[in-house]
Structure 1
């Protein structure tokens, strides 16, 4: 006898799809704004940071992507209250990063950098502590996913620390020629994107 269809299955599929979309947005954001920036500037070079693309038409992608991610994180519901709180905080910080340009007033600059830093910290928390939770004995694929989550969380934290180190000790030195902030921000976004892409069960899915 065939089993009855699960009425919750469409909701589950939609939720997994949203996780994949968020992952794709995180991975693609640095690539899209850099390529669009090349066409606008007419030269093959990247700006010092992703936030600097706010000063070009690329801000449409920058702001739009952050608001889309913020909306999903606001609607994100996990198994415990702390999952919901983390999602709400990440939403707030994503909106703050989008609304306050790094080229605005002194207050806007402070709010932008604080929001961006706190956003990555919360996203790292998702990868390190929320995505790795399991009930019962984890499967082989779950253990593999947990390894990816932890690696992504560590990468995000390392990028935040290295950006802070650069700003404190290496800014206005020859190191700035390689645009370290842009590449570290991009790496952190790619780690975030991969983490959510895996959470969407696109990779390392249980049988």
Structure 2
């Protein structure tokens, strides 16, 4: 009788533990997919705007932002500015993900929230069109873009220890730290260089496109590295199970 009672209580507990592990796995998969998705969207953006533009007879623009007002050479389409749909949609998606993503410290959350808001502002305030004038739009566009990348640079350079402390191997921690510092400084420097190039030249040149693309690819690299690091350290699992405390 005792054995039956013990067996009867053990089975539900095992099921509860199994359900709990399944739910934890679901949460971990969601967070990892979110990080990887942000990286993938960013990495593909410079490539897609060029290829998408070519498919609508739009020549290669001097900057990524210029695709907002790049007119199509094909009049038999639903929109005169087909790349605008992808450009704005991607920025809104990335902005939403950055704002909703919860990091491992309050300061990381503040930086990511600010970056997310700035991504939406970049979409809402396009750079000047060659055929028209939009008061202050250019300044807001470039200002929001710079703040976005500076927030991400801060996250990469100054907040990586929030999760790296969970990796016991000193050599591995050092390698991740080097990678975070590299992509962080890339994100900080390349958008500023792009702004300087755009303002100092008579008209934007192809160099501006590559400078912007480098900053975007550094943004993508950060999320790929973060995904790999947290998978290595099982940081998401430790956070989900309460095995680590949240930093300030």
Stretches of structure 1 lacking an aligned partner (at least 5 in a row): none
Cα RMSD after superposing both structures: 2.4
Which of the pair has more CA radius of gyration? 2
Deviation at 1:154, TM superposition (A): 1.2
Structure 1 segments of 4+ aligned residues over 6 angstroms from their partners: none
Structure 1 residue 168, shift from structure 2 partner: 4.6
Q: 8 Å contact 1:141–1:205 — kept in the other structure?
A: no
Question: Map of 1:168-179 to 2, 5 A cutoff?
Answer: 168-169=199-200, 171-172=201-202, 177=205, 179=206
Q: Deviations over 1:23-48 (max 9, x none)?
A: 001100010001111222265xx211
Q: Write out aligned runs for 1:1-207 (5 A).
A: 4-5=17-18, 6=21, 7-41=23-57, 43=59, 46-55=60-69, 56-103=81-128, 105-133=134-162, 134-135=164-165, 138-139=168-169, 140-169=171-200, 171-172=201-202, 177=205, 179-201=206-228, 205=232
Uncovered stretches (5+) of structure 2, i.e. residues with no partner: 1-13, 70-80, 235-248
Number of residue-to-residue matches in the alignment: 199
Q: Which is worse superposed, 57-66 or 135-144?
A: 135-144
SS at match of 2:156: helix
Residues 118, 144 of structure 2: 8 Å contact kept: yes
Contact 1:197 1:203 in 2 (8 A): no
